[in-house]
Amino acid sequence: MPELVVLVAFLEASVRLGVPLALAAMGETITERTGVINIGLEGSVIAGALGGALGAMALGGAWAGMFVGAGAGAAVAFVFAAFSIGLGTDQIITGTAITLGGLGFTGAIYQARFGTTGAVLSVPTLAPAPVPLLSDLPVVGSALFAQAPTAYLAYVLAPALWYFLYRTQWGLEVRAVGEAPDAAAAAGVRVRWTRFWATVFGGAMAGVAGAHLVLAHAGTFAENMSAGRGFIAIAVVVLGRWNPVLVLFAALFFGAANALQFQGQALGLDAPYQLFLAFPYVLTLAALAGWVGRSRAPAALALPWPKRE
C-alpha cells in the first residue's frame, strides 16, 4: 500500500532525525542533573558536525568521523566548563557565547578550507545497519531497527543512563550535586569535578549528534546546519523531566515534528515550506507551556558553586 510506504518512510525519518536530538538531550540530562545548564550545547552539535565531516574525510571513514565529532563536541563543552565551572562565570551567558563562538568558528574554518561557494562536500557516510530479525518486523522493523548505528547507541544509552542515575553510587552523587551541592560537598563529593565531567560527557554526546547529522543524515556539512537542535534538546530535557528514558521518547517525538518538513507533502499536508521549518520550534514552545509545574528541575540548576558572596 502506498500509504503504508509513506508512513514507514515518515517513521524512519522521524527516528533518523530524532536520534541526534535524543543523544544530545540525554547527554544534557546528565549535565543538568549535576546542576549545570549548557546553553552551549548547540556549539557542541555544530562542532561535532564539522568534526565528523573533516574527520571522516581526513581519516577515510565514517566511524573515524564519529569519534572526531565526539571529541570536538567534548572540547567545546570543555571550554564552557572551564569558564562556568572552573571560573564560576554565569552559565547562561557563557553558554550563549560558546554557541555563538562555536557557530562562528565552525563557519570560519569551513569557509577557510572550502571557500564560500557552498559547494557540497562528499563525506563518507554511515550506512544503515539493520538488526537481524528485528528489522524484519512489519512497519516498526525498518523504522526502528534499520538505522545507522548511532540510533542503537541512543536506544541502549537511555536505560543505561537510567540505571546509572538511580542504581549506582556515582549516579547518586550526580543527583546530590544537582539538588544540594553544599550537602554533597559536606558528604565528601567533589562537586566541581562531578559537574565538569558530566558537562564534557554531555558535549561528547552532542558531538556525536552533530556527527550523525552529517554522516548518517545529510551526507555533507553546511554552515549552521545544527539549526537550533541543541536548544531543542535542552527543551526536550525539560519535557522528559530529566529522566533519560522519557527524554528518549520526547526526542523521537520531536524528530517526528522535524521529519514533517521532508515528508509533509507526501503525507498530504499542503503548507508553505517555512511553516514546516518553523513547526518544531513552535511545537517546542507549546510543549514547554503545557508542561508547567509537572516536575521540578534539579534544585541547584544554573547556580554557580561555590556560591558568590
Partner 1 sequence: MTEVLARLDGIVHRFGRVTALDGADLQVRAGEVHGVLGENGAGKSTLLSVLGGVLRADAGTLSLRGTAVTLHSPRDAWANGIGLVYQHFKLVPRLTVLENLALGRRTGSRGWRLPLREVEDRAAELMTQAGLTVDLHAVVEDLSVGNRQRVEILKALLRDPRILILDEPTAVLSPPEVDTLLALLRSLVTDGRAVVLVSHKLDEVLAVSDHVTVLREGRTVLSAPRSELEVTSLTHAMIGADHISGPRREPHAVADGEVVTRLRDVRATGPRGQEALRGVSLDLRRGEIVGIAGVEGNGQRELALVLAGRAEPTSGDIEVASGTGFISQDRTSEGLALEFDLTENVALAAHRDELFRSGILLKWDEIEVRAERLRSEFAIRAADVSVPARSLSGGNQQRLVVGRELPEATDLLVAENPTRGLDVAATDFVHGQIVDAVRSSVDGPSVALISTDLDEVLELSDRLFVIVRGRLTEVAREQWTREGVGALMVGAAGVPDDRGSR
Partner 2 sequence: MRRLSPAWTALVALVLTLAVAAGSLVLGGFNPIEAGFAMMRGAFGSSNAILSITMVRAVPLILTGLAVALAFRAGIWNIGAEGQLYAGAVAAVWVGLVGGALPGFVLVPLVLASAAVAGALWSAIPALMRVRLGTGEVITTILMNFVGIYLAAYMVVGPLQESRGVFSQTDAIAETATLPLLVSGTRLHSGFLLALLLGGAMWAMFRWTRIGFEIRAVGAAPKAARIAGLIKTDRVVLLTFLASGAIAGLAGGVEVAGVTFALYEDLSPGWGYTAIAVALLGGLHPIAVLGTGLLFGALEGGAAEMQRAAGIPASWVSAVEALVILSVLAVDQVRRRANA
Residues that bind partner 1 (CB under 8 A): 167-173, 175-176, 179-180, 182-189, 296, 299, 309
Examine residue 299 and tell whether it contacts partner 2 (CB under 8 A). Answer: no
Amino acid 125 reads T
Considering the complex, what minimum distance in angstroms separates the CB of residue 300 from partner 1? Answer: 10
**Nearest alpha-carbon partner for 219 in 130, 148, 168, 156:** 148
Choosing from 107, 130, 141, 171, the residue that interacts with partner 2 (CB under 8 A) is 107
Residue 106 to residues 30, 51, 117, 221, Cα–Cα distance (Å): 26, 9, 16, 10
Is the CB of residue 74 less than 8 Å from the CB of residue 200? yes
**Nearest alpha-carbon partner for 12 in 147, 153, 209, 148:** 147
Q: Which does 39 bind (CB under 5 to 8 A by kind): partner 1, partner 2, none?
A: partner 2
Examine residue 274 and tell whether it contacts partner 2 (CB under 8 A). Answer: yes
C-alpha 221/C-alpha 30 separation (Å) is 28
Choosing from 4, 111, 160, 166, the residue that interacts with partner 2 (CB under 8 A) is 111
C-alpha 281/C-alpha 276 separation (Å) is 10
C-alpha 80/C-alpha 164 separation (Å) is 24
Q: Which does 171 bind (CB under 5 to 8 A by kind): partner 1, partner 2, none?
A: partner 1
Q: Which does 111 bind (CB under 5 to 8 A by kind): partner 2, partner 1, none?
A: partner 2
C-alpha 58/C-alpha 100 separation (Å) is 26
Choosing from 58, 93, 134, 183, the residue that interacts with partner 2 (CB under 8 A) is 93
Examine residue 39 and tell whether it contacts partner 2 (CB under 8 A). Answer: yes
Q: Which residues contact partner 2 by CB under 8 A?
A: 39, 83, 87-90, 92-94, 96-112, 116, 223, 227-228, 231-232, 234-235, 238, 272, 274-275, 277-278, 281-282, 284-285, 288-289, 292-293, 308-309
